[in-house]
Structures are given as C-alpha cells and as structure tokens.
Structure 1
Amino acid sequence: MTCLLAACGTAAPSPQARPAMWLVEDADTRIYILGTMHALPRGTDWDEGKVAGAIRAADELVLELPPAELAAAGDMFRKLAPRDTPLRMEARLSGEALARYRALEASGGDFGGDRYDDWAVMVLMGQRVARNAELSPADGVETGLTAEFEAAGKPIGGLETAEGQLMLFEKLDAATQRRLLTRAAENSEDAVREVTALTAAWGRGDVAALKKVINEDVDMVPAARKAIITDRNRRWSAWVKKRMEQPGTVLMAVGAGHLVGADGVPAMLEADGLKVSRVQ
C-alpha cells in the first residue's frame, strides 16, 4: 500500500526521466494525460521531451488537487484523522506487523499513531517511507508543473478537493482500514526498495512494471481498490469526455497508478470510443 500512496529510494531515476503520457484528441480539442509521481528525488529531470511540448501547448493545467486545495490538505488531515478515543497500536497490530511498524517509527520519531484512525496512520507511514527514500513533494511533478503554469499566467484547475480525497479513506469500513494498515506495516521493511522500483519504472515510462507493482499492492484489498483507484478513474474519465466538448489544449497530470491497466483512465477512454494515443 506504500506504493499506492507514493503513486503517493536513494537510487534516483535517470536524470533524463521520461514518464508515460497519453493524448486524447478530436478535431478541436487535445488533452494530454501525464502520469506523475507526487514526490521525487532532488534534481529529477522529467519535463523535457514530449512533456515540454505539452506544457508549452496547453492552455490550462488540471491536477488531482488545485493549488488552494493542496495547501488546505494538511489542515483537512488534522481535522479528519483523529480518533474519538485513542487506541494503542498494540491493539491494532501484533507480531511481525507491529515490530515492523515500530521499526519504521523509530527511523524518524513517534507517529502519534495511537490518536489517529487506521487510514491516517497508513498515510503517515507512507510519508515516512518517502522521506527515508529521499523523495520530496517539493521535487514532485505537481509542484514543478504548478510553478511553470503560474509563471506563464495559465490557469490551474483540479479534479478533487482535499476533503473529498481524504474522505475516500475516512469512509472505508473499519475492517478494510485495518487490513490496509496491517499490510502497510507488514511491507514496511521493504517499502523503500519498492518505492525505489516504482520511481525507476515511472522514470522509464514502463507502464507494465508500474501496473505490476501497483496491482500487486492494492489488489489484495479490493474494497480499497474500488474506492481509491477504479471509481476515481471512472469519474476522471467522465471529466475528460465532458471536457472534449470544448475546444483547446489541456495538460491533465495525475498519479501514474491511475493510468495503467484495464481500469486506468486511458483504457477507460479508449473503451468509450475516444481516440487515445501514447505519445511518450
């Protein structure tokens, strides 16, 4: 589940990273769909090649969260994450899962997890793994794109709100949340290596490898996959289809995990009869 959040190592991808990108087009509308990593190693070069052309051509940028919503995400997390009554981690995890959770916690200080819902603890774990892997949101694709479009005076929109995004986790039933937390703890020993592999596959534009890493992670919890991946992809695909009714050029940039596999956004759009092509 850590890989899903990285979708939320010390070996950086190639300095000439070329992430996968698709183009949906008709006679008067072009929508580039770029797979992103929300956090990357410092100095990662991802905005050359076809991506550079898409940035120049686009009239607007559309992200999962627009800048104002991204800025509000921390406050929204602090609002939604706390439990009504604290629950010790020893009552949630046991054996190897608990030991690995404690080891990850020891790598950078107390999570304060007793005070938070299971989904929120998992988010904090994912942030710690990213930090341990020397990945930073300040170097992520969304941060870079936002700076480029703001400098050019081009509008930036979003597909979701911070509250809506976090409520996807908050609304998961208790059993699904506990299963997510348990898997994240059990896999935390190898999480840096897995995130490194995910980042490298993204940098190569290797959608088969991305699909394998991400699906192996989230397919073990079908209820989470439906809420966090498939249902959102369906809503985003509907947005693309509606936006195709207006002329212009758009760059849509969302987590790479949403663009791979049979329920990825490009596959959904193609199944609905739109012209979709891989351009990088």
Structure 2
Amino acid sequence: MFNLKNTRRAVVTGALAAAALLPMGFAAQAKEAPKPAPKMWVIKDADSTIYLFGTFHLLKADTQWKHAGIDKAFNSADTLYLEVADLDDQAAAQGLVMKYGIDPTKSLLTPYTPEELEVIRGVYKKYGLDVDQLTMLKPWLASLMLMMKQMEVLGFDPNAGVDKTLLAQARAKNLPVKGLETMDEQMKILATSLVDEQAKSLLDAAKEDTKTRALFDDMLKAWSTGDQKALEKLLVDEMKTKTPKMYEAVLVNRNRNWIAPIKQILAGSGTQFIAVGAGHLAGPDSVQNMLKKEGVTVEAYDYQSAQ
C-alpha cells in the first residue's frame, strides 16, 4: 500500500534506451527494438509459475505502462497477490489511520527548531495544509499527507496506480486476490518504525520540495522503462543512507517476511501473479535476491519472446 523512501519516496519507478542509428541498408535485417516496460521476473518449478512484478502505486492518468507481455502473464494467472488484498477498503484504512497514525500525547512539531518549523509550515501551506492543525499526527502520516498533495499537484492519481488497476481487472474476471500482508500489519510497521528517523524524513521532504517534480518524474521514467539501476538509486540508496533503520523496517524486513509465503506459493501448482511496489524489487535486499539466496531460481521476464 505504501512503499517508503524517506517516506515521500513511498510510491514505489531511468532512462529510455537511445535508438540505434543504423545505415538504411541494414534496416531490413534489424529486429524491431523491444518496447520499454516495467521490470518483471519469473519463478518456475515443475508445476508452478510465479510472475513477480514491480508496481508504481500512484500514476498519471496518461502514463503508458501496459504491455502485451504484462497482459499475457496476468491473464494466465490463477491468483493475483498484492502487498495488501483489500487496499481499496477505505473504511478499514481510516480506522487503522486513527489507530496507528495519531498520538495525542506528543506534538508532531516538537523535534524541530524554529527555523526548521518555518520551512515545514511554508511547504505545507503551499499545498493547502496547516501543519499546526496536524500536531497529533505521527510523522509518517503527516509526511504521507504532504507526499499525496505533492503528487496530486503533479497530476498523479492513486486510482490510476498499478495496484488498483490490477485489482480492478482481477475483480472484473473473478480472479482471486490475496495479500502478502494485512493492512493492519503494514500500517503498524509505519507507525512503529523509528519516529526519530520519520521526523528527519518529514523535514527532508519539506526542504527538498522544489526537487519533487524532477524526483517523481525520474522515478516514473525509471520504473516504466525497467531501469533497475536508476530505481535502486532513487528508491533504495538514499533511504538506506539517510534513514537506515527505517530502510530495515519498511523494506528489508517486509521483503524477508514475504519469502516464506512466496516459497509456499511455489510449492503449490498453477500460475500466480505477484505485484508489489517497485522499491521492494530494487537493490541488494530485494525480494528476488532474497529468494535466490534461498536457492530459488529467479529470471528476468523476456518481454520480446512473450509478444
């Protein structure tokens, strides 16, 4: 549901390959360049196939990410697995936000100097938010509110995100949907993972507001073109360096928690489609790397042969 990189980089995303300049005489011999697509992996044994797909939780409505290869894999699946199966259950989400996102005993603004508060207030005001009315919120929730406003201004829409799109498609074809974790488990991790680092992330988000457009555009470009090196830099490296304990709690531990369920799915039979935030599939602590360490063979999905 939420995939954090210093909280605002939570939406779990590059450069387009330059077209080869060939002499006209070679044009007929050259194969058509494959269409760029988000990265996907395949796990197989004798009677099971698992597609492991990295998603972008919020997208611009005109983002072109669908690919015949993705459709082919998805349409072959017996079950769709998401981070959270009921991610569109607003009533449940609101209840958990009240449970894990509010702390009336502490003030959100306590950790900051007057100068830092001026920066924070200015950025929140820019997006129509009064941070002084949010003082009972925990830093992760206040940061998430800011991030959502930033992305909304830039044209991103949670209803256009990959996870919700796949969920709608699954329901339309009566495809079973399951989660690798519950909404409660996910929000509990956000609420209990290192308030001091969350407070730092909130301040960093405010200070770097002017870079937001370029950051999200770079994330989207990297994700949509399957540029794993860029994704690792954008979604993993800075979080790992600036807030290492949050990185461990929000990415590494959750990835580790998903390994046993994925191995159990592989032990069954049939074809399954697993879609999680792209940040979970980037870097040395990615889900696919953890699976490889457990002896599971994970290969990059060949889009060209799937067409």
Q: Provide the TM-score with structure 1 as the length reference.
A: 0.90
5+ residue gaps, structure 2, are 1-5, 14-34
Matched residue, 1:84? 104
Distance 1:131 1:60, change over 3 A: same
1:4 is paired with a residue of what secondary structure?
A: coil
Q: Does 1:258 align with 2:277?
A: no
- CA offset digits 1:46-82 (Å, max 9, x no partner): 2223111111110110001112674322331133212
Which residue identity lines up with residue 264 of structure 1 in the other structure? S
Which residue identity lines up with residue 4 of structure 1 in the other structure? R
Matched residue, 2:186? 165
Matches within 5 A, 1:32-111: 32-67=51-86, 70-71=89-90, 72-85=92-105, 87=107, 89=109, 91-94=110-113, 97-111=116-130
Equivalents in 2 of 1:201, 1:66: separation in Å?
Answer: 26
CA RMSD of aligned residues (A): 2.1
Distance 1:136 1:68, change over 3 A: closer
Per mean C-alpha deviation after superposition, the further-off stretch among 250-259 and 113-122 is 113-122
Which of 21, 29, 41 matches 2:40? 21
- CA offset digits 1:132-167 (Å, max 9, x no partner): 221111100011101111111110111112221111
Matched residue, 1:149? 170
Counting matched residue pairs gives 272
Distance 1:3 1:118, change over 3 A: closer
Per mean C-alpha deviation after superposition, the further-off stretch among 179-188 and 134-143 is 179-188
Equivalents in 2 of 1:259, 1:202: separation in Å?
Answer: 11
Equivalents in 1 of 2:124, 2:194: separation in Å?
Answer: 25
Of all paired residues, the percent bearing the same amino acid is 28
Distance 1:196 1:2, change over 3 A: farther
- CA offset digits 1:70-106 (Å, max 9, x no partner): 43223311332122236263x3333664344223312
Matches within 5 A, 1:7-18: 7=12, 18=37
- CA offset digits 1:180-224 (Å, max 9, x no partner): 222222223312321111011101111110001112331111110
1:119 is paired with a residue of what secondary structure?
A: helix
Which residue identity lines up with residue 268 of structure 2 in the other structure? Q
For the 8 Å contact 2:120–2:203, the answer to whether it is kept is: no
Q: Does 1:135 align with 2:140?
A: no
Greater Cα radius of gyration, structure 1 or 2: 2
For the 8 Å contact 1:6–1:130, the answer to whether it is kept is: no
Which residue identity lines up with residue 7 of structure 1 in the other structure? V
Q: Does 1:278 align with 2:300?
A: yes
Which residue identity lines up with residue 294 of structure 2 in the other structure? D
Which of 201, 204, 222 matches 2:244? 222
Matched residue, 1:202? 223
Equivalents in 1 of 2:88, 2:264: separation in Å?
Answer: 22
1:114 is paired with a residue of what secondary structure?
A: coil
Equivalents in 2 of 1:109, 1:3: separation in Å?
Answer: 17
5+ residue gaps, structure 1, are 9-15
Equivalents in 2 of 1:215, 1:128: separation in Å?
Answer: 22
**Structure 1 outlier segments of 4+, above 3 Å:** 68-71, 94-100
For the 8 Å contact 1:39–1:139, the answer to whether it is kept is: yes
Per-residue deviation, 1:109: 1.4
Per-residue deviation, 1:244: 0.8
Matched residue, 2:253? 231
Which of 4, 7, 31 matches 2:9? 4
